[in-house]
Amino acid sequence: MEMPKVDEVLGELKSRYEDPAKQQLVAALAQDMVRVQSMMMVGDPKAEVEMAHVEAAARGLAAAEQAHVTSVVSDYMTKVLSSVVARAIPGV
């Protein structure tokens, strides 16, 4: 299984918005979410503090937009984990 590319996720999110400021906010939020979720996977104790910053940034989006970004990033992280497991345990 091929490792998904974060640039593709960012492109997908940005394409949903016409406003450049909104595109920047969504892209930054997605990048931060990926970074914090990666921190959480390795048990970094700073992850909770970082998540609070991400949640504060997300308040700049409407509820539906927050849900969309969360969904896209969650799908991305699922693909990343699936790729890692497939490489670590062939045949899974």
The C-alpha atoms of residue 80 and residue 63 are separated, in whole angstroms, by 26
The count of domains in the chain is 1
User: Would 60 be classed as within a structural domain?
Assistant: yes
Q: Do 25 and 60 touch, CB atoms closer than 8 A? A: yes
pTM of the full structure: 0.74
pLDDT in tens, 3-34: 788 888 888 888 888 889 888 888 888 888 88
**pLDDT above 90 (res 46):** yes
Domain that holds residue 22: 6-88
User: Would 81 be classed as within a structural domain?
Assistant: yes
User: Would 1 be classed as within a structural domain?
Assistant: no
